[in-house]
Structures are given as C-alpha cells and as structure tokens.
A = this chain, B = another copy of it.
Amino acid sequence: MYQLLIMTKKDLHRKRPRTEIPEPTLRRLPRYLHFLQGIWEQGQMNISAPAIARELNYDPTQIVKDLSYTGAVGKPRVGYVTYELIRIIEDFLSLNTKSEAILVGAGNLGSALLSYDNLSGFGIKIIAAFDVAPTKVGTQIGNVSVMHVSRLNELVTRLKVEIGILTTPARIAQEAVDIMVDAKIKAIWNFTPTFLQVPDSVVVQNTSMYANVAILLQRLKELKNKQYGQI
C-alpha cells in the first residue's frame, strides 16, 4: 500500500510530515477487529460504521475515520464487507506475518504470556525465554524453552529476532534491556514500570498496568462523587 503525501501549511511547522497513524486509532483498531471476528463467526456478511459504533459505544464518524486509515472502503447503505474488513485490518496491523519475539523474565507475568496461546493471534510468536533463576532455566513454559540470559545474544543475533518482551523485576529492567539492545533487538515491549534508556534506533512500548489502576480508581471516585451530587 502506498500513501499519497501532500505537504500542507501545517506540515511546514513540523519536523516531518505526518505519516504516523494516530495512536488512538491504533488502539481502537484491535477492538474493532475482535468485534468483527465475533459477528463474522455469527455469519454476519456486512457491517456499517454506525452499527459498530452502537455496539462499541463510539462516535460513528470516529469509526469511519479510523477505518479509512487502513484503506477500507464501504458502500453507502450497506457498510463494509465483514470478511474483507477483517482481512484489511489484519494486514494493516501486520497480524498475518507473525513476528518472532523473545521474552526476558519468566516469572508470574512472563509465564502468563508464554502460556497465552492466543498471543500469536495478534501477530507475535515467542520463540524463546530467558531467565537467571536455576528453577526456571532449562524448563519449558507453554512449549517455549527457558534459557539462561547469557545465551540471549547468540540466539537473538543468529535468528535475527527483532522484538523483546521485558517482564523482569523493575530493579534490573535497564540491565536486561542493555543486553537486548546489544543483541540488536529493535522493539521492546516493556511491562515493568521502569523508564528505559535506549538508543533512537530502538522502539519501546510501555504497558503499564499501574496507569490503568490509577484511571480505574479515579473514575470510581468520580462516580461516587457524582452519585452523592458533590462534583
């Protein structure tokens, strides 16, 4: 897919023209996808943006805009062809080419990810895990072998793995990341609360459950205040 690039006056003030997909859109697309897979299994051949909007409680134009990023086109009065839309979103999100990844820190969370059989369902395949604990090294978790961290560099370099998943204790997160970066890992999925220092050539995606708890507790507080008429 190739994109038309037109420089607007706005773009002149930017360091580079905008080609990046808005992050909110990227966050919503997987949600649409899951919903679409559901209705497809139920045999629904077509779906309109307003219908999706009603089900997922979004603004209808939001959906149309988001979907237009993927290149999907719909027909007036019919909507989109369900299976086509699924395929287009999957292609757009690179979910069909399973990217190989390694995981460092096979503890509670790491084991959950290793045992999660649907991780490949969204584009990632963990091919090896690394740890230092003698109780972990040498075992298999969810069909993935856990090796000692000292073997990371050799394996990652040889297999040209680009994605690293970080589920170590926060304390040693930076240390583990340095090893990954050294082995030429290009993207890090970080589950620790640590802010990672990496070169510009490496992408970090933080998944902070802390942030989600903060929002949950706050919204709960606001809800209570509203109910007591105190806001």
Q: Which of A127-155 contact B (CB under 8 A)?
A: none
Give the one of A170, A208, A218, A222 with max B CB within 10 A.
A218
Interface size on A, residues (CB 8 A): 62
Judge whether B211 and A26 touch: CB under 8 Å.
yes
* Among listed A27-35, A75-83, A175-183, interface-contacting one: A27-35
Q: Select which of B34, B207, B225 is within 8 A of A212 by beta carbon.
A: B207
Number of copies of this chain in the oligomer? 2
Q: Select which of B20, B29, B212 is within 8 A of A222 by beta carbon.
A: B20
Judge whether B220 and A162 touch: CB under 8 Å.
yes
Nearest CB of B to A118, in Å: 9
Nearest 9 Cβ contacts at the A-B interface: A30-B210, A205-B216, A112-B112, A27-B211, A108-B112, A34-B193, A187-B220, A108-B115, A203-B219
Q: Is A46 an interface residue (CB 8 A)?
A: no
Judge whether A116 and B109 touch: CB under 8 Å.
yes
Point out the residues of chain B lying under 8 angstroms from A207, CB to CB: 209, 212
Point out the residues of chain B lying under 8 angstroms from A217, CB to CB: 93-94, 99, 123-124, 187
Q: How far is the CA of A201 from the CA of B228 in the complex (A)?
A: 12
Point out the residues of chain B lying under 8 angstroms from A195, CB to CB: 31, 35, 55-57
Q: Is A194 an interface residue (CB 8 A)?
A: yes
Q: Which of A10-39 contact B (CB under 8 A)?
A: 16, 19-21, 23, 26-31, 33-35
Give the one of A20, A109, A216, A225 with max B CB within 10 A.
A216
Q: Is A51 an interface residue (CB 8 A)?
A: no
Give the one of A162, A170, A195, A213 with max B CB within 10 A.
A213
Q: How far is the CA of A226 from the CA of B62 in the complex (A)?
A: 28
Point out the residues of chain B lying under 8 angstroms from A213, CB to CB: 30, 122-124, 189, 205
Q: Is A227 an interface residue (CB 8 A)?
A: yes
Q: How far is the CA of A64 from the CA of B199 in the complex (A)?
A: 26
Q: How far is the CA of A206 from the CA of B97 in the complex (A)?
A: 26
